[in-house]
């Protein structure tokens, strides 16, 4: 069975709607990326330096990043040699295989770590405007639908209107929001959030934090303090520290992952705004260089525009055109 067939079967086993959502969200992405690659493979009939160089550009153009791209292409070269591949077309399948390997490396870590017998605390961190608050709204909506009792903590006391933004989400989906005044100590809000969640017997506490650039020492210290408070007030917590990344971000995403990772021990990534035209190649770079699993993806602004990350679906959507082309040939 070819790699593409395997991919397809794996995707078919998953629910239709989820796949659909992924496909619409990623259709633009997939189209640009894939047509560029298909184009490249059908144009050339020899595997040569130019081909590798163009491939390199396509991957870089998808924000895979220079280092990961060079590594990927290096792997391709080795495989081509080892397997004595001559046809450019065979490179297609090989490339997605190599990428898939990277994405699957952290697969077992991909699910949210829920605390089965007690309160689960999830902390959301990231730079400004990436989608932290919106993701919290979406995730609260999901948990609520699963019948869980959810509480939100308005830990962004800095940005104008941030508390009200979270409260609006709370009202929209019908969950409580713990808040203090604007300008107050975020660690104190989170502290209250934990105690409120416990006394109200909530299952899930989602903690919002203010957006901050990773190079601001003081703001990162503030975040560490919030993290420490969570650790202290609720043993075993935070169960997840999710770094929210905007898919339109370039190479700085890796710096973000590294710095936030060091500061508050990030356990996973939420990749937002994949409904745009950004290619999402960062997912590959992040897995490759930092071994941080992508747990969730944001595919829009509405409450149900959130999905678990699934590498098969991701790849399938990314290489859809190619899969169809291969079927047409056989």
Considering CB distances under 5 to 8 angstroms, the limit depending on partner class, which of ligand GTP, other proteins, Mg ion, none binds residue 261? none
> Concatenated DSSP letters for 66-84?
HHHHHHHHHHHHHHHHHTT
**Site membership for other proteins, residue 144 (CB under 8 A):** no
Contact between 262 and 288 (Cβ < 8 Å):
no
252, exposed or middle or buried, with CB in 10 Å at 0-12, 13-18, 19+? Answer: middle
> Concatenated DSSP letters for 278-317?
---THHHHHHHHH---EEEEE-SSSTT-EEE--HHHHHHH
321, exposed or middle or buried, with CB in 10 Å at 0-12, 13-18, 19+? Answer: middle
Could you tell me the smallest distance in angstroms from the CB atom of residue 245 to ligand GTP? 10
Q: How many residues bind ligand GTP (CB under 6 A)?
A: 21
**Site membership for other proteins, residue 50 (CB under 8 A):** no
**Site membership for ligand GTP, residue 299 (CB under 6 A):** yes
Instruction: Tell whether omega for the bond before 158 is within 30 degrees of 0, i.e. cis.
Output: no
Map the footprint of other proteins across residues 177-236, applying CB under 8 A: 182, 213-218, 221
Which of 14, 28, 104, 224 binds other proteins (CB under 8 A)? It is 28
Map the footprint of other proteins across residues 285-314, applying CB under 8 A: 301
Residue showing the smallest CB distance to ligand GTP in the complex: 211
**Site membership for ligand GTP, residue 53 (CB under 6 A):** no
Q: How many residues bind other proteins (CB under 8 A)?
A: 50
Contacts of 231 (CB under 8 A, 6+ apart): 237, 238
Could you tell me the smallest distance in angstroms from the CB atom of residue 127 to ligand GTP? 7
The helix or strand, by DSSP H or E, that contains position 244, with its residue range, turns out to be: strand 240-246
Considering CB distances under 5 to 8 angstroms, the limit depending on partner class, which of Mg ion, ligand GTP, other proteins, none binds residue 299? ligand GTP
The residue assigned the tokens 């006391």 is 157
CA distance 57 to 38: 14
Residue 297 β-bridge partners: 271, 307
Maximal C-alpha separation, the chain: 68
Cβ proximity to Mg ion, 89 vs 226, nearer residue: 226
CA distance 241 to 230: 11
**Site membership for ligand GTP, residue 286 (CB under 6 A):** no
* Binding letters toward ligand GTP, positions 89-128, x by CB under 6 A: -------------------------------------x-x
129 is in an annotated binding site: yes
Considering CB distances under 5 to 8 angstroms, the limit depending on partner class, which of ligand GTP, Mg ion, other proteins, none binds residue 168? other proteins
Contact between 304 and 293 (Cβ < 8 Å):
no
**Site membership for ligand GTP, residue 256 (CB under 6 A):** no
Could you tell me the smallest distance in angstroms from the CB atom of residue 306 to ligand GTP? 8
- Residues at the contact surface with other proteins, assessed by CB under 8 A: 28, 57, 60-63, 66, 127-131, 137, 158-162, 164-165, 167-169, 172, 182, 213-218, 221, 246, 248-255, 258, 273, 275-279, 282, 301
List binding-site positions for GTP. 126-133, 208-212, 272-275
């Amino acid at each position: 069975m070819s790699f593409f067939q395997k991919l397809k079967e794996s995707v078919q086993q998953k629910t239709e709607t989820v796949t659909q959502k992924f496909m619409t969200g990623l259709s633009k992405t997939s189209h640009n990326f894939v047509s560029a690659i298909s184009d490249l493979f059908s144009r050339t009939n020899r595997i040569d330096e130019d081909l590798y160089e163009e491939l390199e550009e396509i991957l870089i153009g998808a924000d895979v990043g220079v280092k990961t791209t060079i590594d990927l292409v290096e792997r391709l070269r080795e495989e081509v040699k080892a397997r004595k591949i001559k046809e450019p077309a065979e490179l297609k399948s090989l490339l997605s295989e190599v990428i898939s390997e990277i994405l699957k490396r952290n697969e077992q870590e991909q699910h949210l770590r829920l605390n089965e017998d007690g309160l689960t605390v999830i902390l959301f961190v990231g730079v400004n405007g990436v989608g932290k608050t919106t993701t919290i709204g979406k995730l609260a909506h999901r948990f609520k639908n699963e019948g869980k009792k959810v509480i939100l903590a308005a830990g962004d006391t800095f940005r104008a209107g941030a508390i009200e933004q979270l409260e609006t989400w709370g009202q929209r989906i019908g969950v409580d929001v713990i808040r203090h005044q604007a300008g107050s100590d975020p660690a104190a809000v989170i502290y209250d959030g934990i105690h409120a969640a416990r006394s109200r017997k909530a299952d899930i506490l989602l903690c919002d934090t203010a957006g901050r650039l990773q190079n601001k020492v003081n703001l990162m210290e503030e975040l560490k303090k919030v993290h420490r408070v969570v650790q202290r007030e609720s043993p075993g917590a935070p169960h997840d520290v999710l770094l929210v990344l905007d898919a339109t971000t370039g190479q700085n995403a890796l710096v973000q992952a590294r710095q936030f990772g060091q500061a508050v021990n990030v356990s996973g990534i939420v990749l937002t705004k994949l409904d745009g035209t950004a290619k999402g190649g960062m997912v590959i770079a992040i897995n490759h260089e930092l071994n941080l699993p992508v747990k969730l993806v944001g595919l829009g602004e509405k409450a149900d525009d959130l999905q678990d990350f699934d590498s098969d679906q991701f790849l399938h959507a990314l290489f859809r055109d190619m899969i169809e082309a291969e079927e047409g040939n056989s």
